[in-house]
Structure 1
Amino acid sequence: MLDRLQLALFPKSLFPLPNEQEATPLPVTKAKPAQLPYCQPAVLPLGTQWHTITLNGVTLGYVLKRSKRKTVGLSVNDSGLQITAPVWVSTAQLESVLQKKANWIITKLQQLQERHALLALQQITWQNGDRLPYLGQAIVLQRNPVLPTTIFQGECFAPQDGNILYLPLRPEADSAQMRDLTQSWLQQQARRYFEQRLQHYLDKGALTMQRLRLAAPAKRWGSCNSDGTIMLNWRLIHFPPHLIDYVVAHEVAHLKEMNHSRAFWDFVEFLMPDYHYARAQLRQHEPGTLPLL
């Protein structure tokens, strides 16, 4: 249940409207975990305690249960990070174990966060206050009949949780209108964002492409044809930047190597040295699992 998550996927705080609506070109995206927000569950399971720890600069929370077991057990489920430890293990010893497992813990928690973001996407009813993932952040949909066009409260390519997407719709507008306007805006941003990231990797690889085509296939995040046309699934715009960068770098690499040989993967690594992390994350998702907006 979302109200029992230790990772607060959608913070309720909103941010003030900045003066600047356009984003500056982005530098290369580092494939590293974002800060994982956390909150203590309203009710803890019997016999457990809530603790927090900072791992690799990321502060997170976990539920600790003491038991007669002989080793420390770690698991990540829909409720977040769960630790079971022997009664004789000190806090310092336990934290030492968690520090050694920091990369695994952060990766699993981020994957959990992304799965919940996609689940939230499937539950959108297209009403005021609905939230949907955009570049890995949860943005809020709001009707505003006085606006002449759709306006995003925040930097388009550097959104924050809680930024509002204002849609020029009257209060009585139906959900289909809200859905269509939102989809139109998402596709516009996807094209602009993808073009920036494509140019970044084309320049790095000293390559050229013919054109960009957006689509929403059920089986692919992207493709590259021998004529130099790159197709990107526009629904990638829901994901964090480093996952998008991996798909973009992958398809740009196909402009040089139209295969998946060792030479191809070496070139992907040249374009995006830490692509392995994003690749592993993206494998948790399939295009067909995202609802067609």
Structure 2
Amino acid sequence: MTSNSTEQLALFDTPPAPPAAPPPAIAPATHTNEAPIPIACPAQLAPGARWREVDTPTQPIGFVLRRSRRTSIGLTVGDDGIVVTAPKWVTLAQVDGAVREKARWLLDKMRQRHRRQQQLAMAETQWREGGRVPYMGQFITLRLGHSGHGHIFEGEPAKPQAGQVLHLALPADADSSRVRDTVHAWLQNMAKRQFDERLQHFLQRSGAVMQRWRLSSANTRWGSCNSEGNIMLNWRLIHFEPVIIDYVIAHEVAHLRHMNHGPAFWQEVGRLMPGFESARQTLRNHHPATLPLL
């Protein structure tokens, strides 16, 4: 690596556990009792595309078939459902065989997208009068119509209690997108304050030197640290309880000394935050793009 290159390390990019405390194994998903996932033909098909269905041991699978100049069969799951792209010389029997072979993977991806769409629909109901939003591990309640200047949180921002109210200086009939953007801005401001305080705590404990830090809006990572000593922390961490926030910050501060996920790195995390393993396992169950759907 040249001296001017930047090595980027993100939380969970390479997540081996400390040798002394390996994480529990995750059992593979089973599909024995799962209901069939609805797979409908898109309202419109692209020119040259066709709708096709095949039977599989789990359920029938419908997909959009496209022909192309590629040299192999490709399968993707997206907004149009399942799309199979195949060379012109590949037979329909071969296409069907590829779909059957990957049926479990395809259905897993479709179920994930279906759950995500349901969660997004539910999330929209939060951005209103009386909506509940997770903040530092507690659900706080939104109240609209505050007539003063700025927004008022009735509790102590660093130690919220369940049910405490965030009064927003918005009209009572503000639409959901405006409420959402306002709450996000407030949460990001709180994240700056809380994260900076905890960064200073762990930096003092570590003795390492950080160049600078900033908030991130990444949809794929909770935090990162590069070889130049710059740290990024996902603002959505403010939804979690303090111990989870501390783990991510300790993780990135440890990278200031060890730009890898080797044994020495995990020992440093353990020195900065003894008993971090539980917080790490909790965070594995959440993805940045799913919040605030805790």
TM-score by length of 1: 0.57
1:254 aligns with 2:258: no
Partner of 1:284: 285
Partner of 2:272: 271
Change (3 A) 1:233 1:273: same
2-structure distance, mates of 1:123, 1:160:
23
Q: Which runs of 4+ in 1 moved over 3 A?
A: 118-121
Letter in 1 for 2:155: G
Q: How far did 1:177 drift? A: 1.9
1:138 aligns with 2:139: yes
Partner of 1:166: 167
Partner of 2:61: none
1:198-209 to 2 correspondence within 5 Å?
Answer: 198-209=199-210
Q: How far did 1:143 drift? A: 1.0
Change (3 A) 1:260 1:210: same
Listed one character per residue, the Cα deviations across residues 142-173 of structure 1 (whole Å, up to 9, x for unaligned) are 11341111110100010000110000112232
Contact 2:129–2:172 under 8 Å retained in 1: no
Q: Describe the SS at the equivalent of 1:208.
A: coil
Letter in 1 for 2:123: Q
Q: How far did 1:119 drift? A: 8.7
2-structure distance, mates of 1:290, 1:191:
18
Contact 2:134–2:240 under 8 Å retained in 1: yes
Partner of 1:41: none
Structure 1: any 5+ residue segments left out of the alignment? 1-117
2-structure distance, mates of 1:241, 1:204:
17
Change (3 A) 1:180 1:119: closer
Partner of 1:149: 150
Aligned length: 175
Q: How far did 1:121 drift? A: 7.5
Q: How far did 1:212 drift? A: 1.2
Contact 2:128–2:176 under 8 Å retained in 1: yes
Change (3 A) 1:212 1:237: same
Change (3 A) 1:192 1:199: same
Listed one character per residue, the Cα deviations across residues 182-207 of structure 1 (whole Å, up to 9, x for unaligned) are 11100000011000111110000012
Structure 2: any 5+ residue segments left out of the alignment? 1-118
1-structure distance, mates of 2:213, 2:192:
8
Letter in 2 for 1:220: R
Q: How far did 1:288 drift? A: 2.5
Partner of 2:190: 189
Contact 1:147–1:167 under 8 Å retained in 2: no
2-structure distance, mates of 1:201, 1:166:
32
Q: Describe the SS at the equivalent of 2:125.
A: coil
Letter in 1 for 2:125: I
Q: How far did 1:217 drift? A: 1.2
Change (3 A) 1:229 1:185: same
Listed one character per residue, the Cα deviations across residues 28-70 of structure 1 (whole Å, up to 9, x for unaligned) are xxxxxxxxxxxxxxxxxxxxxxxxxxxxxxxxxxxxxxxxxxx
Contact 2:133–2:292 under 8 Å retained in 1: no
Q: How far did 1:291 drift? A: 5.9
Q: Which moved more, 1:234-243 or 1:211-220?
A: 211-220
1-structure distance, mates of 2:133, 2:160:
12
Q: How far did 1:286 drift? A: 1.6
Letter in 2 for 1:192: R
Contact 1:210–1:228 under 8 Å retained in 2: yes
Contact 1:124–1:131 under 8 Å retained in 2: no
* Rg comparison, structure with higher value: 2
Partner of 1:229: 230
Letter in 1 for 2:212: R
1:1-293 to 2 correspondence within 5 Å?
Answer: 122-290=123-291
Q: Describe the SS at the equivalent of 1:138.
A: strand
Letter in 1 for 2:277: H
Listed one character per residue, the Cα deviations across residues 1-30 of structure 1 (whole Å, up to 9, x for unaligned) are xxxxxxxxxxxxxxxxxxxxxxxxxxxxxx
Listed one character per residue, the Cα deviations across residues 103-127 of structure 1 (whole Å, up to 9, x for unaligned) are xxxxxxxxxxxxxxx9998353411
